[in-house]
Amino acid sequence: MRRLAAVLAACLALAAPVAAQSLSEGEQVFRSPVLSINYDRFFAGSRLGREMVGQLEAERVMLEAQNRRIEAELEAEEIALTEARDTMAPETFRGAARAFDEKVQRIRSERRQLAVELTQQGDTLRNRFDEAALPVLTDIVREANAVVVVDSRSVVLTLDVIDITNLAIRRLDEADPDVEFDMPESESQPDTATDP
C-alpha cells in the first residue's frame, strides 16, 4: 500500500505546476498524467446510459411476459391433449403427442434465441456508449495533460482529485450524443404458441 501511494505521489508530482485548469462554467480538471474513472458509474449515471438500460429492461420485461403467456398456452394445450386421449385412437394420439412435443421444443428454442439476441443487443449498446463517450473522455484527458485514464474499480488506491467520473457524466449529458436504439425485429414479432 505504501509503495502504491508513493507511485501515485510521484505521478502527481509530474503534473503541471498549475493544479487546476479553469473550464467553462467553473468546471475544473486536475492537471495530472493519471486520471481515474468508475466506468460502471459513468455508464449508469449518464442520461445516455440510463436510456440504454431502460430500453433493454423494457425489452426484457416484454420477452418475459411473452414467455409466461406462451408457457400458459402450451400447458393448456397439453391438458386438452391429455383429456382427449381416451377419445382418440392410440396411433392418432401418439402422432398428436409427438407433434406437440416438437412444437414445444421449437418454441422454446426460438425463445432462447430471443434471449441470446437481447444479450447481444446489450453488448452492442454498450459498445455504442463507449463510442459516444470516447470524444468526451479524450477532451478531458487533453485538458488535464493526462496520458492515461485508469478504471478506479481495479485500482487499490486513488485520490478523489484525479477522479473524473462526475465530470465525464456532466460532459456526456451536455454533449447529448445521438445514438440509435434499434432492437432486433424478432423481439417484437408475435409468438408462435398457437401455430399449428
Q: Is residue 91 part of a domain?
A: yes
In the predicted model, is pLDDT for residue 147 greater than 90?
A: yes
Structure confidence at residue 28 (pLDDT): 67
| Residue 183 confidence (pLDDT) above 90 | no
The verdict on residue 114 lying in a domain is: yes
Q: List pLDDT tens digits, range 109-126.
A: 999 999 999 999 999 999
Decide: 85 and 177 in contact? Cβ < 8 Å: no
Tell me if 194 is assigned to some domain. Answer: no
Question: Quick check: is 196 in a domain?
Answer: no
- Global pTM reads 0.71
pLDDT for 101 beyond 60: yes
pLDDT-derived band of residue 181, with 50, 70 and 90 as boundaries? low
Domain of 71 in residue numbering reads as: 2-188
Per-residue confidence (pLDDT) for residue 89, from 0 to 100: 92
Q: Is residue 159 a part of any domain in this protein?
A: yes
Q: Is residue 36 part of a domain?
A: yes
Residue 193 domain flag = no
Total domains in the fold of the chain? 1
Lowest-confidence pick of 22-36, 64-78, 119-133: 22-36
DSSP states of 33-82 = SEEEE-HHHHHHHSHHHHHHHHHHHHHHHHHHHHHHHHHHHHHHHHHHHH
